[in-house]
Amino acid sequence: MNAGMDELYREVILDHHRSPRGREPLPGPADARAEGKNPSCGDELTLELACAGGAITDAHVECRGCAIATASSSILAELVAGRTPEQARALAEAFRTAMHSPDGALADELDPGDLEVLTGVRKFPARVKCALLPWITLLSALDAEGEGKPAAPASTEA
């Protein structure tokens, strides 16, 4: 990553850490819910999704963790609203793949927004799990919602 990308990475992380999106409670009951933990860093989060008409209409994320986990949670809350569960799953899977690939590239057709900048955390291997935690938790929530049962706790250690 060049110096310009490093600066953009820092600005995006700080913005989402200082003003996290998705903090507001959902206006009604959650249609999908999951909890996630990153034992290596101590990050914990609760994710709730509201769905209607085949789309995720809103996300509430309560994150207790480091700046990377908080920023990633905030980016998730922004990006999943308006997507179908399948689109949200595709974005989460693509992000997980990008975080473990040499180039960290996310396909433009996924419209990854700030998530693309967050792939810069790959330079800090100890922080990859922090960035992935919200997205792993999203997958757990989507799995449970699709099966109509409570989500199993998500963990970066699995």
- At 58-103, the pLDDT tens digits run 999 999 999 999 999 999 999 999 999 999 999 999 999 999 998 8
Q: Rounded to whole angstroms, how far apart are CA atoms 62 and 80? A: 15
Over residues 30-57, mean pLDDT: 95
Domain locations in the chain?
3-155
Per-residue confidence band for 27, with pLDDT thresholds at 50, 70 and 90: very high
Judged on CB neighbours under 10 Å (0-12, 13-18, 19+), 61 is: buried
Give the tokens for residue 109: 């057709």
User: What's the predicted TM-score (pTM) here?
Assistant: 0.89
In the block, residue with structure tokens 């998530």:
115
Q: What residues contact 53, with CB distance under 8 A and at least 6 apart?
A: none
Strands of the sheet with 32-38, listed across from one edge: 55-64, 43-52, 32-38, 154-155
- At 110-120, the pLDDT tens digits run 888 888 888 88
Q: Rounded to whole angstroms, how far apart are CA atoms 15 and 106? A: 21
Q: Are strands 43-52 and 55-64 parallel, antiparallel or unpaired?
A: antiparallel
CATH architecture of 3-155: Alpha-Beta Complex (3.90)
Maximum Cα interatomic distance, the chain, rounded to a whole number of Å: 46
Going by the DSSP 8-state scheme, the letter that residue 1 receives in this structure is -
Q: Is the pLDDT of residue 45 over 90?
A: yes
